[in-house]
Amino acid sequence: MPRVLEPELMDDPEQALVYARADFEKENQGFIDRFHEYYPEFTEGHILDLGCGPGDIPVRFARTLPSCRITGVDASEPMIGLADVAVKQASLADRITFRCERFQAVSLVEPADAAVSNSLLHHVPNPLQFWYRLRQLVKPDSPVLVMDLLRPDSPEEAQAIVDRYAAKEPEILRRDFYRSLLAAFTEDEVAAQLAEMNLSRLIIDVVDDRHWVVSGIIH
Ligand SMILES: C[S@@+](CC[C@H](N)C(=O)[O-])C[C@H]1O[C@@H](n2cnc3c(N)ncnc32)[C@H](O)[C@@H]1O
């Protein structure tokens, strides 16, 4: 099945609110735990989160790694508004900063010590821009963790995944999940992107029936 693009930004306020209220605890804590498992020596420094959405992953990183600070980047104003509220509620505003900017345009005073991104790449029309910026925005030899959906073989399979994992979710979330599956990349496509960008120290792993993870040290 060919890739079907979805809108790049999640900037509809209702869409952002429904996404922020959804229960992604298992997925998001799993993402933090995976980072910690892959990079146990990484306990302090500046983590960059590209496409941070409503800020749940930055909050979880800040709680798990108390000597780290986190910058979240998202170009959706409603998402950044929700992220600001989440961080204030968690009393973590001293270590988490948000930037309402496209990752393609963001610039840091100093490159970060690690970069993470969950569920962003499928939104991006040109995925090579993402890998290019990822390398630019971190110091050499920094750990990265990128996770996203895996495109199924057919629209019917995408619908079956939505029904299996989001049967009781609000219609907006089910619609976005379906569209995201159609816009996602296959394992071979991501591997080809890494090869084209000469990111040979990053490896892709398919971790379940609908997700891939790219990890490794960027150079
Ligand atoms: C599916 S959400 C994932 C949010 C968060 N990472 C999580 O796992 O909960 C993808 C986010 O990426 C943002 N996004 C898409 N394209 C972007 C871009 N070019 N620059 C910055 N943010 C972008 C969207 O606005 C949306 O908030």
Is pLDDT above 90 for 39? yes
- CB of 123 sitting under 6 A from ligand 1: yes
Domains of the chain: 13-218 (3.40.50.150)
Could you give the CA distance from residue 216 to residue 214 in angstroms, rounded to a whole number? 7
- CB of 79 sitting under 6 A from ligand 1: yes
CA distances from 154 to 69, 71, 131 (A): 41, 36, 27
- Average pLDDT on 128-157 reads 98
Testing ligand 1's pocket by substitution, the residue of 120, 174, 178 carrying the most ligand atoms inside 8 A of its CB is 120
- Average pLDDT on 155-170 reads 97
Handedness of CA 150, 155, 159, 164 (dihedral sign): negative
pLDDT score at 78: 98
Q: Which residues contact 219 (CB under 8 A, 6 or more apart)?
A: 140, 141, 201
Closest ligand 1 atom, residue 180 Cα: 1
* Structural contact between residues 62 and 96, judged by C-beta atoms closer than 8 angstroms: yes
Claim: this prediction has a pTM higher than 0.75: yes
Is pLDDT above 90 for 77? yes
Testing ligand 1's pocket by substitution, the residue of 9, 128, 210 carrying the most ligand atoms inside 8 A of its CB is 9
Going by pLDDT thresholds of 50, 70 and 90, the confidence category of residue 219 is confident
Is pLDDT above 90 for 160? yes
- Average pLDDT on 79-95 reads 98
pLDDT score at 159: 98
Each residue's pLDDT tens digit, 189-208: 999 999 999 998 999 999 99
Closest ligand 1 atom, residue 102 Cα: 20
pLDDT score at 41: 97
- CB of 148 sitting under 6 A from ligand 1: no
CA distances from 92 to 26, 140, 180 (A): 21, 28, 30
Each residue's pLDDT tens digit, 103-142: 999 999 999 999 999 999 999 999 999 999 999 999 999 9
Residue ID of nearest Cα to ligand 1 atom 12: 51
pLDDT score at 145: 98
Going by pLDDT thresholds of 50, 70 and 90, the confidence category of residue 45 is very high
pLDDT score at 6: 96
